[in-house]
């Protein structure tokens, strides 16, 4: 019954995507599958009369089961089209050995309702709400169709909820919450990023055109444990011991766990310079780290302490500064102005049109106003300047 199963599955697919199934059809149109060379190529190949006879016999069998109706061009020889019997739709699913769409929707609603009871994360709740709305409309979005991948996405949401503020490498997250270190990357990563772009961005400084790794970092999932470099007159406490960073004349490296679990003891300085790079973006400006310094300065009432940020004169640099400014209102850009841009323009890199359109959008946003003059230069010259150019 190979051809019978194929024809019924095609008809079920047509039915599931029709207004008739949703009860929205104003006219009860019949759901039919025309027999054409495109739909049933082996039916029309010359010299394969035996194959056509097999297909005809399988269709006649289905008609006897009252699952379909056959429209013949020539009785018992050439079929025009096949019409599914809507009244027997459950019997059709039983014949195919699959669940009805209504059953699948009810299963998904049950799983989502169970998840909703234990989730407090705002963007996940928004994602769940839209899923439920689609299901209540008797729609099954592509995101929810595959049992295995849908279950993995639900487990991922639970994992994000359970890990709270902990930052985990992708493979460790995958092993802990999905049971296999590669499942997240292979089956969930892109779907989760799509959901976060849609429902998580509104509560973040990020925009949808950020790199996938940066978006996942906001969720607390990273490719690997990150490190930052620190230099200056700073004493840092960890496990009841104090490290004096001024003893490291060339600076030293701290991983994210050290930053997360330690505390500032003292700062013998009146200013702090944050230098952009991937590590800074992913760890130093995340949650506690810069806030830790800012709070310490405020709590200890250090007068005239200044915070500076030095980044690329480009889209990424402007965005990171803007995010930092939410934490440090008095943050000042360092060597990110028009004068610096023009001074080193010979070392600037070409900016593509698509990139320039993204930069131009920043002119419409007030929190990028201090960069508007240099943004206009970037658009005019079609160039962008990385901070490394200033070291040449």
pLDDT tens digits along 105-152: 999 999 999 999 999 999 999 999 999 999 998 888 888 988 899 999
- Residue 279's pLDDT is 41
Under the banding of pLDDT at 50, 70 and 90, the label for residue 22 is: low
Which has the higher per-residue pLDDT, 201 or 369? 369
Lowest mean pLDDT: which of 115-129, 173-187, 235-249, 296-310?
296-310
Beta-bridged to residue 286, according to DSSP, are none
Judge whether residue 374 has pLDDT over 90. yes
CATH number corresponding to 270-391: 3.40.1360.10
Residue 161 in this model has a pLDDT that exceeds 60: yes
Q: Which phi and psi (to 5°) does residue 210 adopt?
A: -70, 155
Identify the pLDDT of residue 228.
77
* Stated length of the chain: 392
Mean pLDDT to the nearest integer, 38-51: 82
pLDDT digits (tens, 9 = 90+) for 233-253: 888 888 889 988 888 877 788
**pLDDT computed for residue 263 by the predictor:** 84
Confidence of residue 256 (pLDDT cuts 50, 70, 90): confident
Percentage of residues in the chain having pLDDT higher than 90: 46
**What is the mean pLDDT of the segment spanning 271-299?**
56
Residue that the structure tokens 């310094």 belong to: 293
Residue 333 scores a pLDDT above 70 = yes
pTM check: above 0.85: no
The answer on pLDDT for 19 being more than 80 is no
Residue 350 pLDDT class (50, 70, 90 cuts): very high
E-strand ranges in 245-384 read 252-255, 263-267, 271-275, 306-310, 332-333, 349-350, 383-384
- Token representation of residue 266: 């003292």
The mean of the pLDDT values for the chain is: 85
Structure confidence at residue 294 (pLDDT): 56
Domain positions in the chain? 2-96, 101-222, 270-391
pLDDT of amino acid 296:
56
CA distances from 97 to 68, 89, 145, 195, 366 (A): 17, 12, 16, 32, 58
CA dist., res. 364 & res. 281, Å (int): 24
- Residue pair 253/229 in contact (Cβ under 8 Å)? The answer is yes
Identify which has the larger pLDDT, 327 or 336: 336
More confident residue, 272 or 177: 177
Q: How many other CB atoms sit within 10 Å of the CB of residue 321?
A: 25
Reply yes or no on whether the pLDDT at 375 is more than 90: yes
332: left (phi over 0), alpha (psi -120 to 50) or beta: beta
């Amino acid at each position: 019954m190979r051809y019978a199963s194929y024809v019924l599955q095609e008809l079920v697919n047509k039915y599931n995507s029709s207004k008739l199934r949703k009860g929205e059809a104003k006219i009860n149109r019949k759901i039919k599958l025309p027999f054409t060379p495109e739909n049933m190529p082996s039916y029309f190949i010359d010299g394969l009369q035996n194959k056509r006879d097999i297909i005809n016999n399988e269709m006649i069998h289905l008609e006897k089961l009252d699952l379909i109706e056959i429209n013949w061009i020539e009785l018992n020889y050439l079929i025009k089209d096949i019409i599914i019997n809507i009244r027997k739709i459950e019997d059709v699913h039983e014949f195919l050995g699959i669940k009805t769409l209504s059953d699948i929707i009810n299963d998904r609603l049950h799983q989502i309702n169970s998840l909703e009871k234990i989730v407090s994360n705002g963007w996940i709740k928004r994602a769940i709400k839209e899923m439920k709305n689609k299901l209540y409309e008797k729609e099954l979005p592509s995101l929810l169709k595959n049992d295995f991948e849908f279950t993995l996405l639900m487990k991922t949401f639970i994992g994000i909820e359970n890990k709270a503020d902990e930052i985990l490498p992708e493979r460790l997250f995958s092993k802990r919450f999905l049971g296999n270190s590669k499942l997240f990357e292979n089956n969930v990563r892109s779907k989760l990023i799509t959901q976060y772009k849609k429902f998580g961005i509104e509560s973040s400084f990020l925009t949808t055109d950020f790199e996938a790794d940066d978006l996942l970092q906001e969720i607390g999932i990273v490719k690997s444990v990150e490190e930052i470099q620190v230099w200056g007159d700073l004493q840092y406490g960890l496990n009841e011991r104090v490290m004096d960073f001024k003893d490291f004349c060339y600076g030293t490296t701290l991983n994210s766990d050290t930053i997360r679990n330690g505390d500032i003891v003292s700062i013998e300085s009146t200013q702090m310079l944050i230098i952009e790079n991937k590590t800074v973006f992913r760890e130093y400006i995340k949650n506690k780290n810069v806030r830790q310094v800012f709070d310490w300065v405020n709590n200890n009432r250090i007068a005239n302490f200044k915070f500076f940020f030095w980044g690329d004169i480009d889209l990424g640099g402007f965005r990171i500064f803007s995010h930092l400014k939410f934490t440090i209102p008095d943050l000042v850009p360092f060597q990110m102005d028009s004068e610096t841009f023009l001074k080193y323009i010979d070392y600037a890199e070409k900016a593509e049109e698509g990139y320039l359109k993204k930069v131009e959008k920043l002119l419409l946003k007030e929190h990028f106003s201090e960069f508007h003059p240099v943004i206009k230069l970037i658009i005019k010259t079609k160039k962008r300047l990385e901070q490394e150019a200033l070291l040449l």
